[in-house]
Every structure is written in structure tokens, then in C-alpha cells.
Structure 1
């Protein structure tokens, strides 16, 4: 486990690092998750092993610190991640980023282009979404006020998301979880999709084949983003079908 101070108050981002050759690969988890749990199998998969790999946890999540005075916007998450990568001596990294982590990775690449050479986005959020009371994920969490969520809304979310997601969601600071969900549903200006379209680096977007065509696929493809459906999986593609995920990711990073 490694760490880096990423705020003026001394808060630390931590990650599990696997040794290997450069350029580094950086794995970024989604909302209420942790990178070692979601990406350990992928980082050592025969098609992907051998690179220096940082399985990094965003502030408020997993093994990283949980500052109460951090605003948890996508921009703030991206800037804190940038500071951690700078301390780790990472430049031109290949980012493999899931869900909210994909949104953070897009913002990171737009704000700190020297840190990122390639993006593999895993069913990432590209657009703002409205809060949706009673649903799972960020839309359901964001439907609560922070006071409501901390007073007991988190228990309702726990029961909705099930034991698999809750196993890592419970490691997330509850205030950080709510603030991150709210900011994810709000998105960025320009939107994450617009930022992605403007990036000048190799970009691949992986999505579950069963979800059907990705909204705006034609525009993404015209801008050079490879959109790749993966069979036999849900939102957690790397966990549901690791071999297909590794094949698609290795192909994306080879071009």
C-alpha cells in the first residue's frame, strides 16, 4: 500500500501498487467501491499483467482518507487524483476507470493531460442524470438530502443495493458517498460526454452488450472513441466477465 498527501489539510489518497514496467496503468473504481476489490483480478490477468499498476481509491472511499471538508465534485476528485499520481511519479498513464471513476478519469484527462495517455472507460457516466427516489446507485442516493441520507436513508440504500455492492459501499464515508453521488448526477460543465469528445488521445468505452446501443454512439465513434459491447455481463463488467473484459482492454491499449 502506498499513499500521497493530496489536500492542504494533509488528507491522503492510498492505493495498492503492483510493480512492473512503464507506462503505468491506473485503475479507478466507481461510486461506493474500491479499486483493489474490483480490479485485482484484471491487473494480474495474463493479457494485462507486467505493468506498474496502481489500484487507487478516491477520497472518501476504501483505504483513502475521508475528509469532511472536501466537496467531492468530479473536478475535486480529479485534482486530488492528479496530485496522487504526481507524487507517485506517474505521467502518461493508461487509465482504466469504472462508472463514476470513468467520469473522474475524463475530467482528469481534460484538466491534467500530461498524466493520461489512454482511457478505457467502463460503463462510465457521461451525462447528468436526474435524482430518482427509490432507485439504486447515484440517482437514488442523490434523491435524499444529506441530512436525510445520514439520518437513515443510507440504510434504505443498503437494502436496495444488496450485499455485493454493500460490501464495498460500507467502506465509504457516508457523507462522502452522498456528496459524490450528488455531484455525479449533476455532472460537469461542459458535460463529461463533451469533454470526452474533445480529448486528443486514444479512448475506448466498454459497455454491457445487454444494455443495447450506447446513447450517442455515432457521435462518439466519429470523434474517435471506440465503443465496445461486452457480452454476458452487467454494470460490473470486470467482475462479471473478466476474460472478455481483459481481451477488450488489452486490444484497446494496443492501438
Structure 2
């Protein structure tokens, strides 16, 4: 486990690091998750092993610090991640990022282009959403005010999330979880999709085959984004079908 201070107050991002050759690979988790739990098997898969790999926990999540003073916008997450990567002497990384982590990775590539050489987005959020009371995921969390969520709403979210997601979600700071969800639902300006279309680097978008076609596929493909369905999985592709996921990531990184 390694770490770096990423804010003026000294708050630290932490990551599990596997040694190996360049290019460095950076794995970034989604909302309420943690990269070592979601990506360890992927990074160690025979098709992907051997590269220096950083399994990063975003600020407010997993093993990283959970400052209440941090705003947790997508831009803030991206800048904090950039500070950690610079401290780790990483440039030109191949970034594999899931869900909210994919949104952060898009912003990272747009704001800090020297740090990213390739993106593999895993069922990532590309568009703003509407807060929706009772919904699963970020929309449901964002439907609470921060006070409502921190006081009691998190218990309702826990019960909706189920034991598996809660096992990592419970590691996140309550303020961090709520603010991250609010800003993920709100999105960026330009939107994450618009930023992705403009990025001048190899980009692949993986999604569950059952959810295909991805809205806007034609526009993404025309801009050079490879859109690839993965069979027999839900949103957590790397956990639901680890073999197919590893093969899809390896193929994306080889293109």
C-alpha cells in the first residue's frame, strides 16, 4: 500500500501497487467501491499481469482519507488523482475505470493529458442524471440533502444496496459518498460524453451485452471510441464475468 498527500491539508490518496514494466496501468473504482477489491484479479490475470499497476482508491473511498472539507466534484476527484499519480511519478498511464471512476478518468484525461495515454471505460457515466428518490446508485443517493443522508438516509441506501455493495460502500465517508453522488448526477460542463468525444487518445467503452446498444454509439464510434459489449454480466463486469472482462481489457489495451 502506497500513498500521497493530494490536498493543501495533507489528505492522502492510497493505492495498492503491483510492480512491473511500463506503460503503467491505473485502475479506478466506482461510487462507493474500492479498487483493490474490484480490480485485483484483473490486474493479476495472465493476459494483463506484468505491468506496473496502481489500484487507486479515490479520496473519500476505501483506504484513502475522507476529508469533510473536500467538495468531491468530478473535477476535484480528477485533480486529486492527478496529484497522486504525479507523486507516484506516473505519466502516460493506461487507465481502466469503472462507473463513476470512468467519469473521473475522462475529466483526468481532459485536464491532465500528460498523465493518460489510453482509456478503458467500464460502464461509465457519460451523461447527467436526475436525482430519483428510492433509486439504486447515485440517483437515489443524490435525492437526499446532505443532512438527510448523513443523519439517516444512508441506512436506507445501505438496505437498498445489499450486502455486497455495502461491504465497500461502508468504507466511504458519508459526506464523501453523498457529494460524489450529487456531482456525478450533475455531471460536468461540457458533459463527460462531450469531453470523451474530443479526447485525442485511444478510447474503449465496455458495457454489459444485455444493456446494448449504448445510447450514442454511432457518434462515439465516429469519434474513434470503440464500444464493446461484454457477455453474461451486469454493471460490475469485472466481478460478474472476470474472464471475459480481462479478455476485453486486454483487447482494448492491445488496439
Give TM-score, length-normalised by structure 1.
Answer: 1.00
Residue number in structure 2 paired with 1:59: 59
Residue number in structure 2 paired with 1:173: 173
Once the 2 structures are TM-superposed, how far is the Cα of residue 237 of structure 1 from its aligned partner? 0.2
Number of aligned residue pairs: give it: 255
Once the 2 structures are TM-superposed, how far is the Cα of residue 84 of structure 1 from its aligned partner? 0.2
CA distance in 2, matches of 1:246, 1:59: 26
Q: Deviations over 1:136-163 (max 9, x none)?
A: 1000000000010011100000000100
Q: Secondary structure at the match of 1:128?
A: coil
Q: Secondary structure at the match of 2:109?
A: helix
Q: Secondary structure at the match of 2:76?
A: helix
Q: Deviations over 1:61-98 (max 9, x none)?
A: 00000111100000000000000000000000000000
Residue number in structure 2 paired with 1:32: 32
Once the 2 structures are TM-superposed, how far is the Cα of residue 211 of structure 1 from its aligned partner? 1.0
Residue number in structure 2 paired with 1:5: 5
Residue number in structure 1 paired with 2:46: 46
Residue number in structure 2 paired with 1:225: 225
After TM superposition, the runs of 4+ consecutive aligned structure 1 residues lying more than 3 A away are none
CA distance in 2, matches of 1:174, 1:58: 14
Alignment of 1:1-255 (within 5 A): 1-255=1-255
Aligned-CA RMSD value: 0.4
Q: Secondary structure at the match of 1:37?
A: helix
Give TM-score, length-normalised by structure 2.
Answer: 1.00
CA distance in 1, matches of 2:106, 2:56: 16
Once the 2 structures are TM-superposed, how far is the Cα of residue 19 of structure 1 from its aligned partner? 0.4
Segments of 5+ residues of structure 2 without an aligned counterpart are none
Segments of 5+ residues of structure 1 without an aligned counterpart are none
Q: Deviations over 1:186-235 (max 9, x none)?
A: 00000000000000000000000001210000000000000000000000
